[in-house]
Chains A and B, each alone.
Chain A
């Protein structure tokens, strides 16, 4: 290895140094800008968000064609939905009298309201599709095999939670589309033997889609199910690390 010769620092070097090696920066990030292998590993290991990753990863797994980033994008959709969802919550009241008008209001009177609503909607559809495709990718790469059995099960639970999240959100605009889709959907659930009618009643808080159903779906949609999904995602990600990273051939 050639020994590096010290050269005179250029202007750019000085700016760089001022930006990334000052006291404030280091108080936040500990390391300098991650431009050496040591700092690159440190930044992943010490940053709470990047810490979801290992510091080093097998080279086949960074190839985009191995995962197509589908799991990561599912998670990204979840984050995006949380952000746009919180913004929508500022304006939306889950009562039969207000829900529909609030949505209209969001679309016409709120700055970027229509955009936020559109984003939330399309991201929700995207998440359902991405999670399903992620499952297909895991299956066809044979990545469910031991020792990842249980993480596959956690995945199946996440798939169901994703459907439920999307389904509960569908009612909230309280328009004809929402009302009848949920009526049809809960009728399907209600047809189950033994538990069906009870679980439908429990879900709707009554015999048909009405004010009680709206508040139940809302509560499940904005806190109950996201909380559950977050917990299972935490388990999912933790297990990926514990199971030795992504699956690779023997």
Chain B
């Protein structure tokens, strides 16, 4: 019997409030039935009106331009354009999923549970953080695509001149700054270090070379941005008294994520044209590719 179980340190289910309960049949079953019917009808209608896409048969020699992953992965494909591939495609999503799964182990207060925005100021935090994620992500994408510098120059006549050229996009931090030569080839030992090997000279002594300016662009800035900006946001909200509990901090983090994730998915889906150029959705064209030719040209 359950009573034999020793009291656990984790929370137990709440006692039921029987006088507040209604019967599942009909009250819940009815609602479920209606929503299932509405969905069935809507999907039937959709299926009658719009056909699932079917392009030409797969052909490994013909690359469409742009080639895109399914839409729910386009957020990652978008990230990929801005940083080291392993980081964007695997490490960040994995870390984020772990953080997401750890939410309940971080925020264990019972306050506000089972209620939409049940804590004080929850709506405020959600909207603010959502906007920060949305606007911030757009701004970063525009910066990294060079559009920000372009708008500044073409629309407002503001130009940073040569001195600020290194700010035109993230890559310019690498190419437009006078990095000394040694910084582009910093010797270090990777995991497969062979230094201690006693083999013949010229043998397995192995060093790898770190291109520091490249590292800054591919990993340094992205990590700083993705770890730093949420921290700054939550810290600021804490200083102005919006974020007080762990729940508040998670609200800010999660809502910021939703904002940024939405922008990444949207941009990857609707704003990336040939060669993954940033374009407006109505300018977006897909070249199906011609066998034996690079699909970019016409």
Q: Mark A58-84, 1 if CB is under 8 A from B, else 0.
A: 111110111001001100110010000
User: Dominant SS at the A interface?
Assistant: helix
Residue from A145, A147, A185 having most chain B Cβ neighbours under 10 A: A145
In the complex, A194 Cα to B101 Cα: how many Å?
Answer: 24
B10 interface neighbour in A64, A147, A242, Cβ under 8 Å? A147
> Which residue from B31, B40, B55, B109 sits with its C-beta under 8 Å from A69?
B31
Q: Are A142 and B56 in contact (CB under 8 A)?
A: no
Among A22-30, A120-128, A226-234, which stretch is in contact with chain B?
A120-128
The reply to whether A144 and B58 contact each other, CB–CB distance below 8 Å, is no
Q: Which residues 43-58 of B have a CB within 8 angstroms of A? A: 43-44, 46-48, 50-58
Nearest chain A CB to B120's CB is how many angstroms away? Answer: 13
**A196 engages B31 (CB within 8 Å):** no
Within the complex, what minimum Cβ distance (angstroms) separates A88 from chain B?
A: 11
> Bound complex: CA of A12 vs CA of B121, how far in Å?
56
B68 interface hit (Cβ, 8 Å): yes
Chain A residues within 8 Å of chain B by Cβ, number: 93
A216 at interface (Cβ–Cβ under 8 A)? Answer: no
Within the complex, what minimum Cβ distance (angstroms) separates A74 from chain B?
11
Docked-complex contact A246 and B89, CB < 8 angstroms: no
B220 within 8 A of A: no
Q: Say which residue of B23, B47, B56, B77 sits within 8 Å of A40 (CB atoms).
A: B23
Q: Most chain-A Cβ atoms within 10 A of its Cβ — which of B54, B59, B77, B80? A: B54
Please state if A246 and B114 are interface contacts (CB–CB under 8 Å). Answer: yes
B contact residues around A66 at 8 Å (CB): 116
Q: Which residues of B contact A122 (CB under 8 A)?
A: 43, 46-47, 50, 52
Q: Beyond A142-B247, A188-B88, list 20 extra A-B contacts (CB 8 Å).
A: A44-B24, A54-B24, A69-B31, A72-B32, A76-B36, A107-B51, A141-B118, A142-B112, A142-B113, A147-B13, A152-B104, A176-B57, A181-B69, A184-B67, A185-B69, A188-B85, A188-B89, A196-B90, A244-B14, A248-B114
**Cross-chain pairs A/B with CB under 8 angstroms, 22 sampled:** A41-B25, A50-B24, A53-B24, A57-B24, A69-B31, A73-B36, A104-B54, A115-B47, A141-B116, A145-B109, A147-B13, A153-B104, A170-B70, A175-B54, A176-B288, A180-B67, A188-B69, A188-B73, A188-B88, A188-B89, A193-B90, A210-B60
Which residues from chain A sit less than 8 Å from chain B, CB to CB?
34, 37, 40-41, 43-44, 50, 53-62, 64-66, 69, 72-73, 76-77, 80, 96, 100, 103-104, 107, 114-115, 117-123, 126, 128, 136, 139-149, 152-153, 156, 160, 163, 166-167, 170, 173-181, 183-185, 187-189, 191-193, 196, 208-210, 242-250
